[in-house]
Amino acid sequence: MIHYLYICRGSSGVEQEPEELCVGGSIPPRGKTILMRFVQANIFLYFFLLALGISGFFFAVIWPQVIGFYAFIAFAAIGGFGVSLYIYHTKKHRKELVCPIGSDCNAVINSRYSKFLGIPLEYLGMFYYALIFSSYIILIFAPYILSELFLYGLIIFTAGAFLFSLYLLFAQAFILQQWCIWCILSATLSIVIFIISLANIDFAISLLAEITIVTSAIHSFGFALGIGAVTSALLLFSKFLRDLDINKNELQTLKIISELIWLGLAFIFISQFIAFIGNANILARSGPFLAQTVALFVVAISSAVLMIIFAPFLMAIPFNEKINNNSHSSFRSLRKPLFLTGAISFSSWYFAFIMNYSQKFSLIILLLAYIAVIVIAIATAFFWEKRIISKVAK
């Protein structure tokens, strides 16, 4: 079932279904407390670890040599360690790992796939990410300590973690049929670590530089999927708002489309990183490539905000001001941020797509153009929101 509103608890402390307790009535004070505590502690930690894990890419841009890639891997490892530590802390203290996207994170982290050879995956995750971080920090500051054989063994180790991450994603998608956003983040960082670690192998760099046709095909497919999905999401959202209400079936449709958006984004980032590894010195000075990468990072963050923060409350956000519903009135403040985030995500997708055909302008000019595009998109979104409200007033 989609937990599309918020987690409320009765006086007994037993979790109840949101629509049974919260819809059509006032929000219990304890429900408000749990909501605020959940958003502040859980979600902000998630976005912090997400931003931390991908921020290392900019070290690779500043130093498009091996040391820059080492720094990228180290930052991704810190993010992954934070995810594993959080899951460990949650399970140790027997807390609920609430998943705001509608899945059951607890079913995932307590399933039979949460252990390998009898060892909980959070323990293995903490060990793996700690080893990766410490190894690459040594490679940055004291590379002479580690032998070349150790380096190749490290790459094989990351390859094994990469394959295991794919296996766990497969288990979530087709066996458990539940998604855990924390597990997905850990798997994503593990995949990133493996791809970037290929920069340590000369023949891998040469190979990646020569398979530009394959990389371009993956890149194009990702954009076709992402642009198509985000455009469909906007058109359907506009259609669903004709009655000024988002129902359960409409929310489910938007959720399915958002999964296609993330799939497209995954293909794009994989091709983006592969292309950068094979042509680091060239692409590190390419304005269109860097501007596109910045826009894609914004897409990733804004899409995550839409899916994790706003989607669970989409049915509760009041779009019809004439309906006086006290249980939903507190969510009115989410309406403008929803339109703002959607505008940023949509415009960033199209700006990133246009960068595939951009002339060789400097990065500064392209970033200024990107800011202008976002400002126009936000202004348009707010105009659309105001028009919706003004129609209701009439």
Could you write out the DSSP letters of every residue in 255-321? Answer: HHHHHHHHHHHHHHHHHHHHHHHHTHHHHTT-HHHHHHHHHHHHHHHHHHHIIIIIGGGTTTS---T
Examine the pLDDT at 2 and tell me if it is beyond 50. no
- Inform me whether the pLDDT recorded for 298 exceeds 80: yes
Predicted local distance difference test score (pLDDT) of residue 244: 82
Residue pLDDT, tens place only, 186-231: 999 999 999 888 877 777 777 777 777 888 899 999 999 999 999 9
Question: pLDDT at position 95, please?
Answer: 81
Ordered DSSP codes for 30-57: HHHHHHHHIIIIIIHHHHHHHHHHHHTH
- CA 342 – CA 303 distance, rounded (Å): 8
Whole-number Å distance between alpha carbons of 61 and 178: 36
Query: What tens digit of pLDDT does each residue of 286-296 get?
Result: 999 999 999 99
pTM above 0.85, yes or no: no
pLDDT band at 44 (very low <50, low <70, confident <90, very high): confident
Identity of residue 202: D
Tokens of 94: 């027997």
For the segment 317-337, what is each residue's pLDDT rounded down to a tens digit? 887 766 555 555 667 788 889
Sign of the C-alpha dihedral, residues 189, 191, 197, 198? Answer: negative
Beta pairing class for 115-116 and 15-16: unpaired
**Helix (H), strand (E) counts: the chain:** 17, 4
Count CB neighbours of 295 within 10 A.
25
Label residue 387 exposed, middle or buried (CB < 10 Å: 0-12, 13-18, 19+).
Answer: exposed
Could you tell me the two tokens for 121? 């995956």
Q: What are phi and psi of 8, to 5 degrees?
A: -115, 150
Spell out where the chain has E strands.
Answer: 8-9, 15-16, 115-116, 119-120
DSSP state at residue 198: G
Strand partners, 16: 8
Q: SS3 for 161?
A: helix
Q: Which two tokens stand for residue 52?
A: 């931390």
CA proximity to 104, closest of 26, 172, 29: 172
**Alpha carbon distance 26, 5 (integer Å):** 13
Average pLDDT, stretch 2-19? 38
Kindly report the CA angle at 190 between 271 and 102, in degrees rounded to 5? 95
- Has residue 34 got a pLDDT over 60? no
Q: Name which of 44, 182, 37 is nearest 109 in CA terms.
A: 182
Chain centroid, CA 121 distance in Å: 21
Half-sphere exposure of 62 (CA within 13 A, CB side): 10
Amino acid identity at 56:
G
Phi then psi for residue 115, to 5 deg, are -130, 150
3-state secondary structure at position 116? strand
Which helix (H) or strand (E) segment is 102 a member of?
none
Pair 170, 163: CB distance under 8 Å = no
Distance CA 195, CA 161 (A): 11
Q: Which residues contact 191 (CB under 8 A, 6 or more apart)?
A: 162, 165, 166, 270
Alpha-carbon span 367 to 348, nearest angstrom: 11
Q: Can you tell me which residue has the tokens 């998630």?
A: 46
**Least confident stretch, 26-35, 37-46, 242-251:** 26-35
**Tens digit of each residue's pLDDT (9 = 90 or more) over 64-119:** 778 889 999 999 999 999 999 999 988 888 887 766 666 678 888 888 988 888 99
Contact 35, 6 (CB under 8 A): yes
Sign of the dihedral defined by the CA atoms of residues 317, 319, 321, 323, in that order: negative
